Structure 1
Amino acid sequence: MTKKLVLIDGNSIAYRAFFALPLLNNDKGIHTNAVYGFTMMLMKILEDEKPSHILVAFDAGKTTFRHKTFSEYKGGRQKTPPELSEQFPYIRELLKAFQISSYELENYEADDIIGTLSLKAEQDGFEIKVISGDKDLTQLSSPKTTVGITRKGITDIEEYTPEHIQEKYGLNVDQIIDMKGLMGDNSDNIPGVPGVGEKTAIKLLKQFPTVEELLSSIDQVSGAKLKEKLETYKDQAIMSKQLATIMRDAPVEVQLDGIEYPGYAPDKVIDLFKDLGFQSLLEKVGGDVQTNDEPEVFDDIEFKIVEEVEESIFSNKNAFYVEVLDANYHYSDIIGFSIVNNKGHFYIPTDTALKSSIFKAWAEDESKKKTVYDAKRTEVSLRHHGIHLNGVVFDLLIASYLANPSETIDDIASIAKRYDFSSIQSDDAFYGKGAKRKIPDGKELAEHLVRKALVLEDLEDKLESELEENQQLELYHDLEMPLSFILADMESQGVKVDKDRLLAMGDELKGRLANLEEKIYELAGETFNINSPKQLGVILFDKLGLPAIKKTKTGYSTSADVLEKLESSHEIIEHILLYRQLGKLQSTYIEGLIKFIHPKTSKVHTIFNQALTQTGRLSSIDPNLQNIPIRLEEGRKIRQAFVPSQEGWLIFAADYSQIELRVLAHISSDEKLIEAFNEGMDIHTKTAMDVFHVTREEVTSNMRRHAKAVNFGIVYGISDYGLSQSLKISRKEASQFIERYLESYPGVKDYMDDIVKDAKLKGFVSTLMHRRRYLPEITSRNFNLRSFAERTAMNTPIQGSAADIIKKAMIDMAARLKKEGLQAKLLLQVHDELIFEAPPEEIEVLKEIVPDVMEHAADLKVPLKVDYSYGPTWFDAK
């Protein structure tokens, strides 16, 4: 069997991935685009190459032996963006999960590790594949070693063999370093011979095989200027060749038999993917989970399957669990109940419970105290059967989330595991996954649900004590618990969607798409499949002759970033971009929303995730109503389909104005920020005045735009790289802008310094309402992990406090609507916005009480400000 070694240039691939993909964040605020791209590449390599041995090499530091030859080697490189730096530890975690060896060597580069190991492997009869984004490594190509170089994408690889190098350059592999010696390399700051580019270098090397032979035969070179340059920069050319030459006998301690690839560890990969939020990749590894055919053996427990509900099974205090198998409980039914109390352990089959008036009376009895898991889900599920849940005193899901929001909560078992309560299987293990998912028979199901109720009983006191110790009981009892039932009301109420209007929009979009098709065909001079990148590439680059910016294995790249760069080159491009945008609206938001219209209610019933984000913000899924596109006019129009549930009613929308900046002013006590808000100034204009040192009249729209970007960027811990990308300016300009901002607002600068110091002492940061976010990495010796934690420390109290304030406003608003005896209902929360439906006669009251309640949800050093609007649809209410 052929031994195959894959060697990966870790730093190069990570950089490629970072710059090839847009900045992505998971729900913990960690940037993940480099890790995601690296993962995509890794999985493709493992699938395509099926290596017997594999290693990822990393650069050990900024200084290498080459700096002794040339101190400016790799000089001039911009500092690694912190958004990338923070991802390297996760890339290393990824490699551990995949059981792939990694290695770095002080004073040497990854190239030297790869060069040394590839030579050893050749001598040992291996087939070798090298993967990098750096063409320097093509010098390692040989009959046994293929060098794959990533192009502009991350998984698009050009393979360099000796034959390919000959075909591409007309040179032998050995001449790659000579070519580099002559032309230099800007990315590594290798000078080469000024004025000699790739074409000239290749031409010279076809005449003179090496740099040395060329320099000894300068008199035979044609062209006086070229001769002069070669004569002047002789020593530099020799040095450049040396710098470009990869060392193949570096003191690498790794042995080939120590980097065998045993296959990845599925459980670890799945856990990491969940942690990073790689949902689409989870599906690719989920089927490969190695499960033990032998079921876990737990201590026996006694339980009773209830055949007829009697009052005698209930107590004054009960652990009560309701099982709904599907994640979307609006479309799934209850499959069983369990109750654990001082009278015993009980499983109640669904039909038995729901047909019982005794069960209904107990569930609705406020005096019968209940400990549950996910009160919101429990309440909504029971409501489908005409039962309202009362008497909830503890919710394990919410308590666990508040105690440590960084922990992923999949089910009760994941919480139990954290607290060493191991006598319970995870739902995936019990029910199976995917096509293998099924509900076991009554007795097995009964035991599983009873074990869940036992966890509720066992962990309540432990979690309650933990919250008390953390000063979070008020946050738990007064904010999150009441909010659960308000969210249950909102989810059950749902939002009416005018299906006919959506269908009409869909037809209109289809018509526009058809017209765009005709226009594109006309400009192309022929019909073709616009959705086929291959066919589109042929039209754009072969037929119309547009410059090909990026190529893939299958042809030309027609990705959005490529087309945007070509927009001014030909009229067809703007039509293609619009065609794609409208196509996505049609498939994702028109057809996608229609899919979620409930057949019984004609409404969409989104699920608000209350225990997911580390900042405390709510998120929305199935469908995500917080993410309906509004930048494109056609996207905004989708909101026209969201209408009141009753004829003649109106939609009323109210949102906080710049709440996070107001929270920043309060927390930082910055005098200028406080003054600006208290005087009702436009904060972005004020920032532009302070940063650019101009009067209000001198502030241009561009100045205000820059000020707005840095204002909101500061809230989210933006770096010079992030700001440069946002404003399309250089990192140097962005860095200067941030410096000027912090000079203008010293209170903000002091807050940032102080909160980091405080976090290092405590290990966590808190919101105004004591919501915590733990930051164990803030004292890490790893610079990247520490830097990310420091930025998180700065922005979490701001974002989290804003999230707490709007949650408080929702609770106060529900109470006020009830007090006023209004019919108006709260339908949605979209970040800083609350959306209601109400009869027209109540609008004047809402105009008074909604801002009043929202603006008094918190007592800050600056006023909270709320804007509102209303109309017959959500679209009209904005």
Structure 2
Amino acid sequence: MEKLVLIDGHSILNRAFYGVPNLTNSEGLHTNAVYGFLNILFKVLDEEKADYLAVAFDLKAPTFRHKMFDAYKGTRKPMPEELHEQVPLMKEVLTAMGVPILTKEGYEADDILGTIAKREQKDGYEVTILSGDRDLLQLSDTHIRICLPKTSRGTTEVHNYYPEDVIREYQVTPEQFIEVKALMGDQSDNIPGVPSIGEKTATSLIVQYQNLENIYTHLDEVKPPRAKKALEEHRDLAELSLKLARICVDAPIEFSMADAKLENLYTPEAYEYMKRLEFKSIAARFGEGIRNESGPEKQFVLVEDFSEADALFEKAKKEDHIGMELLAENGSVTALALSFEETGSYIFPVGGFMTESYIAGKYEELCRTGHAWVLDLKHSLPFAKLSYGDTVYDAGVAAYLLNPLKDTYGYDDIARDVLGMTVPSRADLIKKMSYKDACAKEQDNFTRMAGLMAYTAFAAGKPLSERLAAEGMEDLYRNIELPLIYTLFHMEDEGIAVRREELTAYGGKLKKQIAVLEKEIWEMTGQEFNINSPKQLGEILFEKMQIKGGKKTKTGYSTAADVLEKLAPDYPVIRKILDYRQYTKLNSTYADGLGTYIKEDGRIHSRFNQTITATGRISSTEPNLQNIPIRMELGREIRKVFVPRDGFLFLDADYSQIELRVLAHMSGDERLIEAYKTAQDIHAITASQVFHIPLNEVTPLQRRNAKAVNFGIVYGISAFGLSEDLSISRKEAMEYIERYFETYPQVKSFLDSLVAHAKEQGYVTTMFGRRRPVPELKSSNFMQRSFGERVAMNSPIQGTAADIIKIAMIRVDERLRRENLRSRLILQVHDELLIETAEDEKETVMKILSEEMHHAASLKVELEIDMHGGKNWFEAK
């Protein structure tokens, strides 16, 4: 028998929307429901081997069932806007794939599906209906299978139901399933049901009495009494629900099996949608013929002849625009990919006379022409002697500036986002192989990957430049982000020394403290247990000890930090548990963890990333040296293991309240600016003005509260957040915030203007033109919108502070090198710079730090720094 697959469009789209995390493409379109729908569709088609396919959708116009329900209830839950906007998009994609879309005014999708399924079963077809709605189980028949996708632990499984499967799982036949539904109701499906009758009771009644009519015939016998009473009082609802629950199977639907014949879904039109929506994994289904967007005219040529290579390099030097990528990793060069014309790319593998040094040298020469675009400049700097003054354009950094919300900026991402091409990624072509192994064992795929890298850099250069200029970020790119690449590389290359023996001793100290805390916690709770087990800990605290305030979850009591922090002031054992967690984290992350990163030179060479955070801040990984804990004394002591080399010391310079100073400048608030100009304690001044008391009468508590408000305002803090921070009522917190804005009215109007701009334009900007998109403001979810408002208020301030510290880093590093000093910038932690300073250069370095950090930006208030020196990082900080 030939097979027809019918899909309940809205139902599957709805299931996909709630089952797939929020996704947006470069245009800001929400795409998670479409993505999930297509994945489910392809999974079913792969399994079903169908001959025909059609998708049914509801129309916006109310159906006869909606009208019946509205007469009873009057309201239906609206569809979230993020899902609503994906419905027409889904229909466009299906149309592009050649899939017929079925609708009928006055009828729901399941009526269409039921009518066609029953009709085509009679005509000798095997029918599969895909839906997320259990209601469709009533359609299950000899040759009609109902498929219900169910998601568990992130994996979607499709459960199949013929009549015997319905009976086995629900104890009733498909026809009786309608009766069960009528009794139990389903508000999400506009079926009121009979109050106080749940699924278990409804099923039991139908198993016993077969149908609703027979239940009412034997109503006097019905048990339990609660159900009998509900049935007596709500017969009208029961009968209405039965009508609402029954799917129409004889609707006047025009349908042609010829139109539903499954042909080639992978059309060029559909492929264009996959590119636009940025569905890389789905686009991969479209086959090599379509996926290779470089087309047959693009030639990726492997050049192994030395004289031919030399001639091509000479030719490239004379071009006014080239794209390159140096394929190097693990300390060795594998190849150079080069593109300078639309025809494709040349790939030069290391071998014979083309040694590693020859290839790296040619890359360096071409970079110095001033018209080269590469994908990842920092990655190549260990092999090419380039630095400030060598203008090389980094496509990855440019793509990041244009869309800082993405996770990756590989050649396949740039090809898709900038060139409208969907090309296979590195993982697609060489899996997890190294460049060297891939070149030797998978040469064709390696050549293709390298060629795509160079071609993407070449072809994307011009459009990236044009978009940066159009969005006002050309200066930011050229004067901050490009030179920063060299600064970050220099920091990574230098690294920071760690005394392994002191790290071991520090770990021993932590382990002793952990053991002490463990015993104290066991004594206070009255038994030994695994403190690291949330389940055991929850049972001890909230069941055995009967501590009030626990939050019960599906897996037990929550012992998350925010829950325990609220209880800690009243329960000493909880403070001990929080301390225990801090010490165990210190031990695993730093005492034990840091040792694995110490290289043969005795130094840790962390990676500094400039394309990770949406605000423009630099992040540190492998290991993260920006997250060294400083709140606990024993946590701060970890800095003692970081030391300068012999004959050097550490100088640490930290911007003082840079974000508050940026807020004063950008808001133009005269009182806040004046407060800084008086060079007094800003938090005490704020307390004085907010609480209307003389400055010399401000108490430590008032200053602490004012400090929380000062810094909280920068992060768009809510009254709830402030009340949590200060352990005060929400009303008091709201009064603090209102007083603050009365004191600094221009701050309020400035923050409001940022939110208004973000709502209108979709983004906010820093003082230097950096854009931060804020798609959350368009969300139908209140929490998401609130988050978006905080982002809109905070990003321009935090981003401007990030830009300033970047400027300072570049200038300090460049000047140290220009003045031929031995001292080096080795670490940046948020607003702090750490210099490994030659002892005889201390005064010079202090002068450089002071001048360059003070003058990194011109604000209406002075930039101030705190500077300290020491024989280890602890002393310097």
Is the structural similarity TM-score above 0.5? yes
SS in 1 for 2:298: coil
Q: Does the 8 A contact of 1:855 with 1:866 survive in 2?
A: yes
Q: Does the 8 A contact of 2:539 with 2:557 survive in 1?
A: no
Once the 2 structures are TM-superposed, how far is the Cα of residue 510 of structure 1 from its aligned partner? 3.2
**Structure 1 CA distance, aligned partners of 2:715 and 2:608?**
26
**Is there any run of 5+ residues in structure 1 with no aligned partner, and where?**
100-111, 156-160, 165-173, 181-244, 259-266, 277-281
2:371 aligned with 1:381: no
Q: Does the 8 A contact of 2:377 with 2:394 survive in 1?
A: no
* Residue matched to 1:227: none
Once the 2 structures are TM-superposed, how far is the Cα of residue 403 of structure 1 from its aligned partner? 5.6
Distance of aligned partners of 1:781 and 1:611 in 2 relative to their CA distance in 1, 3 Å threshold: same
* Residue matched to 1:589: 590
Output the amino acid matched with 2:652: A
* Residue matched to 1:814: 813
**Structure 2 CA distance, aligned partners of 1:94 and 1:324?**
41
SS in 2 for 1:560: coil
Q: Does the 8 A contact of 1:620 with 1:626 survive in 2?
A: yes
* Residue matched to 2:613: 613
Once the 2 structures are TM-superposed, how far is the Cα of residue 489 of structure 1 from its aligned partner? 0.8
2:497 aligned with 1:502: no
**Structure 2 CA distance, aligned partners of 1:497 and 1:536?**
36
Deviates more, 1:846-855 or 1:653-662: 846-855
- Decide which of 393, 396, 412 is 2:394's aligned counterpart: 396
* Residue matched to 2:236: none
Question: Following superposition of structure 1 onto structure 2, how do residues 546-557 of structure 1 map, counting pairs within 5 Å?
Answer: 549-551=552-554, 557=556
* Residue matched to 2:403: 405
SS in 1 for 2:480: helix
Once the 2 structures are TM-superposed, how far is the Cα of residue 760 of structure 1 from its aligned partner? 6.5
* Residue matched to 1:210: none
**Structure 2 CA distance, aligned partners of 1:433 and 1:859?**
49
Q: Does the 8 A contact of 2:7 with 2:130 survive in 1?
A: yes
* Residue matched to 2:855: 856
Distance of aligned partners of 1:687 and 1:175 in 2 relative to their CA distance in 1, 3 Å threshold: farther
**Structure 1 CA distance, aligned partners of 2:448 and 2:12?**
48
Distance of aligned partners of 1:776 and 1:324 in 2 relative to their CA distance in 1, 3 Å threshold: same
**Structure 1 CA distance, aligned partners of 2:578 and 2:7?**
39
* Residue matched to 2:714: 712
Distance of aligned partners of 1:362 and 1:11 in 2 relative to their CA distance in 1, 3 Å threshold: closer
**Structure 2 CA distance, aligned partners of 1:565 and 1:875?**
30
**Structure 2 CA distance, aligned partners of 1:325 and 1:676?**
54
Q: Does the 8 A contact of 1:659 with 1:864 survive in 2?
A: yes
* Residue matched to 1:428: 426
Q: Does the 8 A contact of 1:617 with 1:803 survive in 2?
A: yes
Deviation sequence 1:62-87 (CA, Å, 0-9, x none): xx999999999999xxxx9xxxx999
**Structure 2 CA distance, aligned partners of 1:351 and 1:537?**
66
Output the amino acid matched with 2:410: D
Q: Does the 8 A contact of 1:765 with 1:793 survive in 2?
A: yes
Question: Following superposition of structure 1 onto structure 2, how do residues 130-169 of structure 1 map, counting pairs within 5 Å?
Answer: none
Distance of aligned partners of 1:663 and 1:559 in 2 relative to their CA distance in 1, 3 Å threshold: same
**Structure 2 CA distance, aligned partners of 1:532 and 1:288?**
43
2:332 aligned with 1:333: yes
Q: Does the 8 A contact of 1:317 with 1:369 survive in 2?
A: no
Output the amino acid matched with 1:373: V
SS in 2 for 1:381: coil
Deviation sequence 1:647-682 (CA, Å, 0-9, x none): 252222222222222222212212222122222341
* Residue matched to 2:490: 489
Once the 2 structures are TM-superposed, how far is the Cα of residue 860 of structure 1 from its aligned partner? 0.9
Deviation sequence 1:793-837 (CA, Å, 0-9, x none): 443332222221111111221244345553321112222221211
**Structure 2 CA distance, aligned partners of 1:647 and 1:470?**
48
**Structure 2 CA distance, aligned partners of 1:678 and 1:358?**
56
* Residue matched to 2:798: 799
**Is there any run of 5+ residues in structure 2 with no aligned partner, and where?**
61-65, 98-107, 122-126, 139-145, 157-165, 170-178, 186-244, 261-270
Output the amino acid matched with 2:612: L
- Normalised by the length of structure 1, the TM-score is 0.65
* Residue matched to 1:628: 628
Question: Following superposition of structure 1 onto structure 2, how do residues 269-348 of structure 1 map, counting pairs within 5 Å?
Answer: 299-302=298-301, 303=303, 305-306=305-306, 312=314, 315-316=317-318, 331=330, 333-340=332-339, 345=346, 347-348=348-349
Output the amino acid matched with 1:863: E
2:484 aligned with 1:476: no
Question: Following superposition of structure 1 onto structure 2, how do residues 400-799 of structure 1 map, counting pairs within 5 Å?
Answer: 400-401=398-399, 404-406=402-404, 409-420=408-419, 422=421, 425-428=423-426, 431-434=429-432, 438-439=438-439, 441=441, 444=444, 445-446=446-447, 448-519=449-520, 524-525=526-527, 531=533, 533=535, 549-551=552-554, 557=556, 559-561=558-560, 564-565=563-564, 574-598=575-599, 600-634=600-634, 636-637=635-636, 639-640=638-639, 642-679=641-678, 680-683=680-683, 685-686=685-686, 689-690=689-690, 696=698, 700-701=702-703, 703-704=705-706, 706-708=708-710, 710-714=712-716, 723=722, 738-755=737-754, 764-774=763-773, 792-799=791-798
**Structure 2 CA distance, aligned partners of 1:642 and 1:368?**
44
Distance of aligned partners of 1:665 and 1:299 in 2 relative to their CA distance in 1, 3 Å threshold: same
Once the 2 structures are TM-superposed, how far is the Cα of residue 858 of structure 1 from its aligned partner? 0.8
Output the amino acid matched with 1:704: A
Distance of aligned partners of 1:441 and 1:297 in 2 relative to their CA distance in 1, 3 Å threshold: farther
Distance of aligned partners of 1:575 and 1:770 in 2 relative to their CA distance in 1, 3 Å threshold: closer
**Structure 1 CA distance, aligned partners of 2:704 and 2:150?**
40
**Structure 2 CA distance, aligned partners of 1:731 and 1:9?**
41
Output the amino acid matched with 1:395: Y
Once the 2 structures are TM-superposed, how far is the Cα of residue 643 of structure 1 from its aligned partner? 2.4
Output the amino acid matched with 2:393: D
Distance of aligned partners of 1:583 and 1:739 in 2 relative to their CA distance in 1, 3 Å threshold: same
**Structure 2 CA distance, aligned partners of 1:148 and 1:448?**
37
**Structure 1 CA distance, aligned partners of 2:724 and 2:429?**
46
Deviation sequence 1:227-284 (CA, Å, 0-9, x none): xxxxxxxxxxxxxxxxxx9x99xx9x9x9x99xxxxxxxx9999999x99xxxxx9x9
**Structure 2 CA distance, aligned partners of 1:270 and 1:587?**
43
* Residue matched to 2:869: 870
**Structure 1 CA distance, aligned partners of 2:284 and 2:452?**
27
Distance of aligned partners of 1:4 and 1:516 in 2 relative to their CA distance in 1, 3 Å threshold: farther
Once the 2 structures are TM-superposed, how far is the Cα of residue 493 of structure 1 from its aligned partner? 0.8
**Structure 2 CA distance, aligned partners of 1:485 and 1:87?**
44
**Structure 1 CA distance, aligned partners of 2:684 and 2:648?**
37
* Residue matched to 2:826: 827
SS in 2 for 1:812: helix
**Structure 2 CA distance, aligned partners of 1:851 and 1:323?**
38
Once the 2 structures are TM-superposed, how far is the Cα of residue 786 of structure 1 from its aligned partner? 7.7
- Normalised by the length of structure 2, the TM-score is 0.65
SS in 2 for 1:611: coil
**Structure 2 CA distance, aligned partners of 1:528 and 1:764?**
47
Once the 2 structures are TM-superposed, how far is the Cα of residue 857 of structure 1 from its aligned partner? 0.9
Q: Does the 8 A contact of 1:824 with 1:836 survive in 2?
A: yes
Task: Percent identity, please.
Answer: 28
SS in 1 for 2:876: coil
**Structure 1 CA distance, aligned partners of 2:25 and 2:714?**
19
Which has more radius of gyration? 2
Once the 2 structures are TM-superposed, how far is the Cα of residue 304 of structure 1 from its aligned partner? 5.6
Task: Give the RMSD, CA atoms, in angstroms.
Answer: 7.6
SS in 2 for 1:769: coil
Distance of aligned partners of 1:565 and 1:346 in 2 relative to their CA distance in 1, 3 Å threshold: closer
SS in 2 for 1:829: strand
SS in 1 for 2:485: helix
Distance of aligned partners of 1:467 and 1:496 in 2 relative to their CA distance in 1, 3 Å threshold: same
Once the 2 structures are TM-superposed, how far is the Cα of residue 428 of structure 1 from its aligned partner? 2.6
Q: Does the 8 A contact of 1:414 with 1:426 survive in 2?
A: no
- State the number of aligned residues: 829
Distance of aligned partners of 1:863 and 1:70 in 2 relative to their CA distance in 1, 3 Å threshold: farther
